[in-house]
Amino acid sequence: MVLNIFNSNLCILCGDSISDPVCRGCYLKQTEILLNDLNLPEIANEVILRKIKNNFPTENLKSTECVLCRKDNVTICRYCFSIMLTNLLRELNLSENLIKRFNYDSICEGI
């Protein structure tokens, strides 16, 4: 599948339409809030956030604005972010129980 990277409403990972466009910064803020709610050690929070930042696609040729901050452009859909987040948490050997508590839906409640 060839994606048109200039189509401003398509996810750069899966190519599906982004219905609720949220930018990298806003996803990270919501993730940080949830990490704080889980009462993990601060170093664990820092490692998780750094891993997400390093793996989050930053291509930004799109013109779709974030519905939350209206500052940044959107690159991936909620579904792809949830898969990326779950995979990163598993790579860090977090328990499945903690991953379920850290589920993506609770991040999106604030979005």
Domain boundaries along the sequence of the chain: 24-108
| pLDDT band (50, 70, 90) for residue 3 | very low
| pLDDT band (50, 70, 90) for residue 105 | low
- Look at residue 63 in the predicted model and tell me its pLDDT: 65
Q: How far apart are alpha carbons 2 and 100 in whole angstroms?
A: 33
Phi, psi of 84 (to 5 degrees): -60, -45
pLDDT (tens digit, 9 = 90+) per residue, 53-79?
888 877 655 667 788 888 777 888 888
- Look at residue 40 in the predicted model and tell me its pLDDT: 82
- Look at residue 85 in the predicted model and tell me its pLDDT: 87
- Look at residue 38 in the predicted model and tell me its pLDDT: 81
- Look at residue 5 in the predicted model and tell me its pLDDT: 47
**Amino acid letter, residue 83:** I
